């Protein structure tokens, strides 16, 4: 009688099952990350699917400061090639009306080392400095509103992206302020 040899058929079946399960898990993670936007008023990070053609994601705003020095701080996740000069900003009320900014309203972009690298003025709708600075992961976006307390009003920061020679970014990204 010939010695019995273990069947190799069992091992390849486990491999196929593991491959199918892994593919399903990866598919669910990718769909959950990129396949569906969060509810419009959630205030959660908008993700790359929320606007701007997938060129900029903005994290949940955190209210900072107090009387005379109100601000909101947000993390960003840009795609490559996007410069801050491609962005313009507005703040819209829950009723859809643009708010009238004061001279103290600015966007300040801070580097990962907490150095200001770009400043945008709401009233002039221009970059005072840093229009050619690349948007990079690790930078923080500060919406500074001075004496204007926008906390709890349900207003939305709207980032308008425009194409340039370095990036075809186009569209808007909306972030509800807490």
Compute CA 72 distance to the chain's CA centroid, rounded to the nearest angstrom. 14
pLDDT in tens, the chain (178 residues): 555 555 555 565 665 555 555 555 445 444 444 443 333 333 444 443 355 556 788 999 999 998 999 999 999 988 778 899 999 999 999 999 999 999 999 999 999 888 999 999 999 999 999 999 999 989 999 999 999 999 999 999 999 988 877 777 777 889 999 9
pLDDT score for 109: 96
CA distance 154 to 168: 31
Instruction: Please choose, from the candidates 125, 177, 175, the residue with its C-alpha nearest in 3D space to the C-alpha of residue 150.
Output: 177
**How many Cα atoms are found within 13 Å in the side-chain-facing hemisphere of 27?**
6
Instruction: List the helix and strand counts (H, then E) for the chain.
Output: 1, 10
pLDDT score for 79: 76
pLDDT score for 33: 41
pLDDT score for 152: 92
Edge-to-edge strand list for the sheet holding 171-176: 87-92, 156-161, 171-176
**Residue 167 token pair:** 């990036």
Strand partners, 146: 70
Strand partners, 142: 73, 108
Domain 48-176, classified CATH 1.10.10, yes or no: no
């Amino acid at each position: 009688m010939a010695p019995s040899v273990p069947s190799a058929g069992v091992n390849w079946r486990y491999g196929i099952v593991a491959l199918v399960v892994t593919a399903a898990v990866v598919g669910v993670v990718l769909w959950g990350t990129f396949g569906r936007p969060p509810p419009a008023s959630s205030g959660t990070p908008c993700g790359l699917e929320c606007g701007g053609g997938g060129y900029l994601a903005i994290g949940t705003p955190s209210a900072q400061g107090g009387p005379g020095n109100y601000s909101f701080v947000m993390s960003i996740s840009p795609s490559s090639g996007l410069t801050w000069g491609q962005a313009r900003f507005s703040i819209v009320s829950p009723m859809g009306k643009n708010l009238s900014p004061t001279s103290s309203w600015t966007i300040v972009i801070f580097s990962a080392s907490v150095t200001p690298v770009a400043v945008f003025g709401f009233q002039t709708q221009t970059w005072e400095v840093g229009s050619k600075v690349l948007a990079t992961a690790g930078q923080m976006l500060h919406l500074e509103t001075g004496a204007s307390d926008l906390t709890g009003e349900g207003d939305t920061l709207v980032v308008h992206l425009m194409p340039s020679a370095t990036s075809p970014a186009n569209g808007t990204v909306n972030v509800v302020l807490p």
